[in-house]
Amino acid sequence: MIYDTLLSPFIEFGFMRRALIGCLALALGATPVGVFLTLRRMSLTGDAMAHAILPGAAIGYLIAGLSLGAMTLGGIAAGLAVAILAGIVARTTIAREDASLAAFYLISLALGVLIVSTRGSNVDLLHVLFGTVLALDNDAIYLTAGIATFTLFALALFYRPLLMECVDPGFLRSVSPFSPVAHYGFLVLTVLNLVGGFHALGTLMSVGIMILPAAAARFWARDVVGLLAIGSTAAFLCGAIGLLLSYHFSLPSGPAIILTAGVFYVLSLCLGIHSTAMTKLRASRHLEA
């Protein structure tokens, strides 16, 4: 029973194994970036950047079809362009960075959907928006694994500046020349991992595997190392469970994975050991007693 339910799909089918490896790469690369996004209160920035890569990926698709290289380069170019433009607007006008980022990502999202829908089919649009994790080929896995490897090395190299920017960015700017490198380098990592997740989960779902496990980990750990470990482990397990649900119940794989991560977040919100609804309730009852 356990073999047929949990192991057989991954042992017998190559596409399930490739999808599982893709989920592992995303858990090791995208979720640690999501941890720092949540610590810096930039979770919605990740969502905005996920939408911002759409027109670049769509243009790459129009030029070369479902070409991994063209869509990847287009997505990276579009994401970085939106991030840079939002930063320039925030520093040269009265608009705040979050407002300018929201404006550019909405324009990007509408432009991307328009490009795909006018030059492609509904199937193409669904592929770009929601991804096809069960159709990952070896090239896509190599790309995602490469991005995850680069991300882990970059996070290890700039761990202390990134951590300090989460706590006090003003102090980091005053004492270290690495503040701009940490800030803009982190945005580059965010774009890279969203592009990597785009090939598996699409632009609308890729940010889910980045943010949901990272946000849930806040209810189970207090230190950053614990957040990284729990978030990445939870992301991989949610990916595996989502794939199994997709296989056994004929569900779309991307939404199944993200909804599994959403269930884990809700359970963590209720049952976690740090600052959850249950701990608040127990504390209030203790004070009443």
Sorting pLDDT into bands at 50, 70 and 90, what band is 230?
very high
Q: What are phi and psi of 2, to 5 degrees?
A: -65, -40
pLDDT at 9: 93
Q: d(Cα 243, Cα 52) in Å, to the nearest integer?
A: 27
Residue 264: which pLDDT band, with cuts at 50, 70 and 90? very high
DSSP the chain: -HIIIIIHHHHH-HHHHHHHHHHHHHHHHHHHHHHHHHHTT-HHHHHHHHHHTHHHHHHHHHHHSS-HHHHHHHHHHHHHHHHHHHHHHHHHSS--HHHHHHHHHHHHHHHHHHHHHHHS-HHHHHHHHH--GGG--HHHHHHHHHHHHHHHHHHHHTHHHHHHHHH-HHHHHHH-TTHHHHHHHHHHHHHHHHHHHHHHH-TTTHHHHHHHHHHHHTTT-SSHHHHHHHHHHHHHHHHHHHHHHHHHHT--HHHHHHHHHHHHHHHHHHH-SSS-HHHHHHHHHHHH-
User: pLDDT band for position 168 (50/70/90)?
Assistant: confident
The model's pTM is 0.88
| Per-residue pLDDT at 50 exceeds 80 | yes
Q: What is the pLDDT of residue 91?
A: 66
What does the pLDDT look like over 193-221, one tens digit per residue?
A: 999 888 888 876 888 999 999 999 999 99
Asked whether residue 154 carries a pLDDT value surpassing 90, the answer given is yes
Q: pLDDT at position 69, please?
A: 87
pLDDT band of residue 261 (cuts 50, 70, 90) is very high
Please report, to the nearest 10 degrees, the dihedral formed by the alpha carbons of residues 194, 200, 203, 207 taken in order: -50
Question: pLDDT exceeding 90 applies to what percent of the chain?
Answer: 39
Residue 132 pLDDT: 77
Residue 286 clears pLDDT 60, i.e. is over it = no
Residue 240 has what pLDDT? 96
Check residue 287 and give its pLDDT: 47
Domains of the chain, first to last: 2-288 (1.10.3470.10)
Q: Which range in 20-24, 85-89, 160-164, 195-199 is most confidently predicted, on average pLDDT?
A: 20-24
pLDDT exceeds 60 at position 174: yes
Q: What is the pLDDT of residue 22?
A: 94
User: Sign of dihedral through CA atoms 267, 98, 73, 152?
Assistant: negative
